[in-house]
Structure 1
Amino acid sequence: MLRKMMGGVAVAAVLLSAGLACAQDFSAERISNDIRTISADEFQGRYPGTEGERMTLAWLQAQYEAMGLQPGGPDGQWLQPVHLKRFTPVEGAASASWTGPDGVVHPLAVGTDVVLRAATNDGRASIRSAPLVFAGYGITAPERNWDDYGDIDVRGKVVVVMGGEPEGDLFNGEYDTNYQSGAYKADEAFRRGAIGVVTLVPQPADSQMWRRATQFGNRTRTLTPGAADLEFSMAINHDVAQQWAAAAGLDMARLGSIGSGAFKAVPLNGVTLSAEAQETSETLVTHNLLARIPGAERPNETIIYSAHWDHVGGESQHPETPGDDKIFNGAWDNASGTVGVVEMARQISRAPRPERSIVFAHMAAEEMGLMGSFGYAANPVYPLETTVADINIDMLPLSGPTRDVPIFGKGQNDLEDRLQALAEPLGRYVSDDGMPEQGFYYRSDHFPFARMGVPAIMPWHGWDWVEGGREAGEAAWRAKFGADYHKPSDEWSADWNLTSATENLTLLYHLGLDLANSEDWPGWKPTSEFAQVRARSDAARQ
């Protein structure tokens, strides 16, 4: 497979460098004009569920209809509805207690001893005398030879886990992996049959950190589509954890080994947990928009280009914004990426019909927490097992030509190797994003695809300018980001230099077409946390 993959990419790179590849012409002027259109004040910051959403989706549909593309949503429609449920705890409805081997019931004060939320779609939780299992960090990472669960059966039980992940190079040192997230821990516990997850915050009850954790326990939250369907989630402090361990006869000194990889989950013998919670809910309906070019030979195999169409709205969402301008136009974030995908579709639609299908997906509610993309991943229109890759575009670069092509998540999958093979003949190179501490790979619309095992890549802004070098490029980016990111000043400007944007789009065009006209499947690197997820569906790609 590797030989076939690299051979195909190398040929594409040679054709690209020789100017013999499929004709395409990314127009900076057209891109600029389209960004200006959908970031205008009339679109009111493109907030989900508003007139701004309706206008944006109507504009997108008109573009694809003019190209002659097919609707790519469910049932032959352009739109995929995404139902976002927002939950608010009912005051006084939550309660919790634990019982030790002696049968004595110990009440837990919600908001003081514990933070408790119903985690199911009905907003209700009712747990009676559920057994407890302490599972260390709650991580199973075969690529790191790490398994906190071991052979223990947690079906019908509540799993207690430490927050975060082990320190040290095995888990990327100071930079996080996906294993540190509460969502991953909930997914893994649910996959094993647990009914709830309790996160241990290693702080005493009177600590400032724990008090801060309890302050926001009752705020309204939006449930992520596809989230683990556990009955409840809970957080406890170190004092409560010590009480449970002592009642179960566990030696707390043993728990010092949880960061070594030698620890395996242990039951809290004789200790059970009861919990009740009730929350009211309201539903916001927003929409992804999808257009499709069906593959000529293998239409059931799909490459996705994605970008989020939404931004954070206007005065209705941010009345406290100082000054007269209260519209967050989101020209850069992410009218630019939205238009980039439209322009990508325009160019690919002029090429010979590809062997595999290509979908152009405009995701909703990214600014709310990648909700549209999570919604698609939870209810995919095209099977994720045979989705070849997701190529995500969020905020096109605004500069002259660059030598570097930074990507989020360098080292995750071999899409970067394919991109490197395309960039190298042009005197360019693929690099990381320069800010690994930000964990950007887990913060844009490609991530819900990666979480489900689909190889995903997202290019970023080059800093190594052809004219001025890295020092000038980094300084300019930081100044622009600091001045306009998520501010009303993020507006279209006729002065934008879209040279780097068109160059990157050209590379992504060839990357997507190379995938669409090949038979191989990009894979995850051996050290990626997402390789094990993809491996579960290997049979679907044989």
Structure 2
Amino acid sequence: MTTIRHCAFAAVLAGALALAGCDSLPGLGGAGDALDIPEIAAGDISETTMKDVVRQLSSDEFEGRMPGTVGEEKTIALLTERFKAAGLQPGNNGSWVQEVPLIEITGKDYGPLAITGKNGKLAFDFAKDWVGVTYREEAQTTLKDSELVFVGYGINAPEKGWNDYAGLDVKGKTVVILVNDPDWQTAALEGPFNGKAMTYYGRWTYKFEEAARQGAAGALIVHQTEPAAYGWNVVESSWTGPQAYAQRGKDAPPLTQMNGWVTEDAARKLLKAAGQDLDALTKAAQAKGFKAVPLGMTLSTSFASSFRRFTSHNVIGILPGSEAPDEYVLHTAHWDHLGRCTPAPDGDDICNGAIDNATGTAALVALAEAQAKAGPARRTMVFLAVTAEESGLLGADYYAANPVFPLAQTVGGVNMDALQMAGPAKDVTAVGFGKSALDRFLDAALKADGRSVTSDPKPENGYYYRSDHFAFAKRGVPMLYIDGGQDLVDGGRAAGEAVAQDYTDNRYHGPKDAFDENWDWSGVMADLQLYYRLGRMMAMSTSWPNWNDGDEFRAIRDDSCKASEKGC
């Protein structure tokens, strides 16, 4: 599971969401439509396989599974061997791997963020007041006298009738943007952007992407702890030092010269010098029809960048379908972790990543074995172990941008990330519950297991947008992201909270996330039965579940389905 720059550790989840109704295109199933959801018997899933694969992947021999290291080589070899032994076939035109070209960009020699206006000059120090990076492969980044424009939340959402860039030309300019959605302070889950539940439009990733589409030279997000869901210390530590990205092809989307963040204090000073007030601008930006505000000031800064290029790998195995082999159901998990990291007090400096995410990777192997034993389903099942999740979902995003199997022919899927050793639970947690008709498959699988679903009490933090499934969701493929339950059979929710907090405090992204021979596997094995049923339900079904009406990914899926001659 990624660092907070890309992901926050999922909070304890509680409270169910009701399904929303939706219309559907012919052949697509929305939440209000009849769906073919077959009954699926329990699978023969090996606990021994789970233990063996997690033990190996998280051993010191694998050195923390950092992409581009000997740890990757060992991981790819192990997964290829285990996928083959499970009965899968190579998933990439006869190969077990998909090459993922990566580039590591390290910024250095940062100048101050110099702001000039009619009321004088301001200078903000790098790291203390602002951070910035370039996604371009250029040795020197220079912004000189770039006009500053406040664009509210930086959202262009035609389906909602909302465009913060309406009538605005920002080419060569630097846009100043608020984090989260306009209605994030709403107590309920109702509003133009789902109330307090963060949408994709609230994520910093979207805001930078949209600024680039609009032609901006630079983009600065105003950091505020509550709507961002993390403090400036997290931004500062995550946005300095080496940054890994997928290498770009010739038809890649446009990029700004510089993307960055400014502290709230720096933003207030900047806006005050422009004769504006952050609180007043924020209030105005929360109303539909907001018009961007030119600030009458310019920004200048410069920094250098160094580069390291290397190739990592996604691992892909398939169980071909018997009746509809060109329709696909995804199972995803990331194999990578952090490699060597800050040493523990005992000197241990290997972040082994046993929970995060040797467990999810091992689950791919165990589920592949079980599905192969059960025989082919109607549709093809894809088992995809992706790289570089910890660097920003890079392996998943590369596959989704360069799919081996067309996304319009991909029915949907499940993502597995950091399976917790908490013992059996009465529930599972579903992040993003209520977004698509896949919820009804989840309901059916839970009913078969005699369990319930709970949902996120902090939807404003946008956890659905912070793991590998998001790379597919934002391109229209319905995906489920499920965590282990919090209502434990032994100890209830209090015990569930304690387990989650202990992992966060003592093991998450540290050297002590290591394999333990004394783990209780019963809860994980129960969750694997749920994943097994979900995958086989989708693979045996004739339906194409869609996003719910009004969801931000619905129009993307509808458009891809209209353009496809096969699949949805």
The interval holding the TM-score normalised by the smaller chain is 0.7 to 0.9
Q: If each structure's helix is expressed as a fraction of its own residues, which one has the higher value? A: 1
Q: Counterparts of 1:356 and 1:520 in 2: how far apart (Å)?
A: 11
Are 1:161 and 2:177 matched, yes or no?
yes
Indicate conservation of the 8 Å contact 1:305/1:361, yes or no.
yes
Superposed displacement of residue 409, structure 1: 1.9
CA shift in 2, pair 1:497/1:371, >3 Å: same
User: Which residue is 2:200 aligned to?
Assistant: 178
Secondary structure at the residue paired with 1:349?
helix
Amino acid of the residue matched to residue 65 of structure 2? R
Indicate conservation of the 8 Å contact 2:96/2:317, yes or no.
yes
User: Which residue is 1:306 aligned to?
Assistant: 332
Taking the TM superposition and a 5 Å limit, the aligned residue runs for 1:176-325 are 176-200=198-222, 219-223=241-245, 229-235=255-261, 237-243=267-273, 256-266=283-293, 276-314=302-340, 317-318=341-342, 320-325=343-348
CA shift in 2, pair 1:108/1:523, >3 Å: same
How many pairs are equivalent?
Answer: 518
Aligned residue among 85, 105, 114 for 1:87: 105
Superposed displacement of residue 143, structure 1: 5.9
Amino acid of the residue matched to residue 262 of structure 1? G
CA shift in 2, pair 1:276/1:417, >3 Å: same
Deviation string, structure 1 residues 80-115 (Cα, Å, up to 9, x no partner): 232332223342678867688xxx997966748865
Superposed displacement of residue 420, structure 1: 0.7
Are 1:56 and 2:50 matched, yes or no?
no
Q: Counterparts of 1:132 and 1:481 in 2: how far apart (Å)?
A: 39
User: Which residue is 1:206 aligned to?
Assistant: none
User: Which residue is 1:42 aligned to?
Assistant: 61
CA shift in 2, pair 1:219/1:473, >3 Å: closer
CA shift in 2, pair 1:424/1:493, >3 Å: same
Superposed displacement of residue 29, structure 1: 2.8
Amino acid of the residue matched to residue 413 of structure 1? S
Are 1:350 and 2:366 matched, yes or no?
no
Q: Counterparts of 1:185 and 1:139 in 2: how far apart (Å)?
A: 7
Are 1:138 and 2:168 matched, yes or no?
no
Secondary structure at the residue paired with 1:347?
helix
Q: Tell me, which stretches of 5 or more residues in structure 1 are unaligned?
A: 204-208
Superposed displacement of residue 69, structure 1: 2.2
Q: Counterparts of 1:328 and 1:194 in 2: how far apart (Å)?
A: 38
Q: Counterparts of 2:233 and 2:75 in 1: how far apart (Å)?
A: 42
CA shift in 2, pair 1:356/1:116, >3 Å: same
Indicate conservation of the 8 Å contact 2:547/2:553, yes or no.
yes
Aligned residue among 110, 118, 121 for 2:137: 121
Amino acid of the residue matched to residue 309 of structure 1? W
Aligned residue among 379, 384, 387 for 2:402: 379
CA shift in 2, pair 1:115/1:538, >3 Å: same
Are 1:503 and 2:522 matched, yes or no?
no
Q: Tell me, which stretches of 5 or more residues in structure 2 are unaligned?
A: 1-27, 226-230
Aligned-residue CA RMSD in angstroms? Answer: 3.8
Structure 1 or 2, whichever has the larger Rg, is 1
Indicate conservation of the 8 Å contact 1:373/1:445, yes or no.
yes
Q: Counterparts of 2:364 and 2:469 in 1: how far apart (Å)?
A: 14
CA shift in 2, pair 1:194/1:481, >3 Å: closer
Amino acid of the residue matched to residue 283 of structure 1? R
Deviation string, structure 1 residues 25-56 (Cα, Å, up to 9, x no partner): 01223322332232223222222222222111
CA shift in 2, pair 1:45/1:262, >3 Å: same
Q: Counterparts of 1:92 and 1:324 in 2: how far apart (Å)?
A: 33
User: Which residue is 2:455 aligned to?
Assistant: 432
User: Which residue is 1:442 aligned to?
Assistant: 465
Q: Counterparts of 2:414 and 2:546 in 1: how far apart (Å)?
A: 14
Superposed displacement of residue 336, structure 1: 1.3
Bigger shift: residues 370-379 or 504-513? 370-379
Superposed displacement of residue 117, structure 1: 3.7
Indicate conservation of the 8 Å contact 1:143/1:526, yes or no.
no
CA shift in 2, pair 1:133/1:536, >3 Å: farther
Deviation string, structure 1 residues 164-222 (Cα, Å, up to 9, x no partner): 4334323455554333332111112223344432335689xxxxx99998898764333
Q: TM-score, normalised by structure 2?
A: 0.78
Indicate conservation of the 8 Å contact 1:340/1:396, yes or no.
no
Superposed displacement of residue 273, structure 1: 5.8
Indicate conservation of the 8 Å contact 1:113/1:240, yes or no.
no
Amino acid of the residue matched to residue 97 of structure 2? L
Secondary structure at the residue paired with 2:486?
coil
Superposed displacement of residue 376, structure 1: 2.4
Bigger shift: residues 304-313 or 280-289? 280-289
User: Which residue is 2:5 aligned to?
Assistant: none
Q: Counterparts of 1:311 and 1:224 in 2: how far apart (Å)?
A: 17
Q: Counterparts of 1:310 and 1:462 in 2: how far apart (Å)?
A: 24
Are 1:66 and 2:89 matched, yes or no?
no
Secondary structure at the residue paired with 2:350?
coil
Indicate conservation of the 8 Å contact 1:6/1:418, yes or no.
no
CA shift in 2, pair 1:417/1:264, >3 Å: farther
User: Which residue is 1:525 aligned to?
Assistant: 548
Q: Counterparts of 2:198 and 2:278 in 1: how far apart (Å)?
A: 30
Secondary structure at the residue paired with 2:360?
helix
